[in-house]
Amino acid sequence: MIIRSKAPLRISFGGGGTDVSPYAEEHGGFTLSATIDKYAYCTLTNLSDKTIKIYSLDYNSTTSFLADEELVFDGNLDLIKAAFKVFGVKEGLNLLIHSDMPPGSGLGASSTMTVAVVGALKHYFNMPIELYDVAETAYKIERKELGIKGGKQDQYAATFGNFNFTEFYGNKVIVNPLLIREDTRNELEYRLVLCYTGKTRLSAGIIDDQVKRYINKEIDTIKAFNETKQLAVEMKNALLLNNIDEFGGLLNAAWKAKKRFTTKITDDHIDKLYDIGLKNGALGGKLLGAGGGGYLLFLCQYDKKHLVTSALQKFGGEITQFAFETKGLQTWEIHDERK
């Protein structure tokens, strides 16, 4: 028997950062996100002995260990090893993972992969796939077991899928699915541009710095967090009311607020790409994820998208086509016909 799972990557429109401790505990955080048709995949099969084998197509990396041995976190597929530890796996399994987008893209790839692995393991062990529990388990693996810095937005987005306005109050999370009109969703797909900046990034140092600034009560950083949270509410309302141009302007405001979290968010190359987008017909946009690299998202005037795309490509930006995905985590099983 083969267990397979997939979870969708996400675009974070607004509120990112307010889901990170300690701001979320002290003030509550809001995020607005939507999942897209790019996925993290996991394939799980059983082995006759007690060997656990993990293979990542993305990194062309493998690791293996005995189910009852002490795990060593050495930087090689640690997320997957931590998942096996949390689940207390004591039997032989073979795991194959791959993703449509690399970690560091700003699309939540690492957390999405963790969600896919959690889903596959729950399916294999006939455990209830309750969505809140899946997201919290993925969060525990990343943030608690491995100590990777970050919030909770990505795990919940990948698990639930679709457009969501999510509230974070410390340990309490509330996912509010949004009834976005089909016209609105189609118009967003028509007018959005997803542009790769040319480099991935490691978010931990960026998050460390913005948290430090918040803890040190730097006034502009605190104001930026509060503005980001409020803008997420306004963006949600604009989407629900089909106010697409207003939404584009709010994206621009969100990007200006985000840049005040820490000076590590952006650099000259990212700023130049962003300016090129605005000068050629984008109403607004933002860098996705924690910052430092990955993907820029633009919302264009309806008749200027081709100009924005062309100008970004001339400067070295790579355009990725996408559509919105309405489903979250999916798991299924098939018979291994090779046996």
Does residue 199 have a pLDDT over 90? no
Calculate what percentage of the chain has a pLDDT beyond 90: 85
8 A C-beta contact, residue 104 and residue 202 = yes
pLDDT category, 291, cuts 50, 70, 90?
Answer: confident
Closest CA to 234 of 284, 161, 304: 284
| Segment 230-263, tens digit of pLDDT | 999 999 999 999 999 999 999 999 999 999 998 8
44 and 122, same domain (yes or no): yes
> What are 44's strand-pairing partners?
3, 95
170 and 212, same domain (yes or no): no
CATH code for the domain in which residue 139 is found = 3.30.230.10
- Which of residues 144, 179, 214 is at a domain's end? 179
pLDDT at 236: 98
Helices 268-279 and 305-314 pack at an angle, to 10 degrees, of: 150
Q: How far is Cα 225 from Cα 257, in angstroms, rounded to an integer?
A: 8
Does residue 165 have a pLDDT over 90? yes
Residue 328 lies in a domain: no
Q: Show Cβ contacts of residue 81 under 8 Å, excluding neighbours closer than 6 positions.
A: 54, 63, 65, 71, 73
7 and 126, same domain (yes or no): yes
103 and 221, same domain (yes or no): no
Residue 22: is the preceding peptide bond cis (ω within 30°)?
yes
94 and 203, same domain (yes or no): no
Q: How far is Cα 20 from Cα 311, in angstroms, rounded to an integer?
A: 35
Total count of domains within the chain: 2
The model carries a pTM of 0.95
Q: Show Cβ contacts of residue 105 under 8 Å, excluding neighbours closer than 6 positions.
A: 9, 196, 200, 288, 289, 294, 295
pLDDT at 201: 63
Does residue 307 have a pLDDT over 70? yes
Catalytic site residues?
154
CATH code for the domain in which residue 312 is found = 3.30.70.890
Helices (H), 153-194: 153-160, 182-191
| Segment 108-131, tens digit of pLDDT | 999 999 999 999 999 999 999 999
120 and 236, same domain (yes or no): no
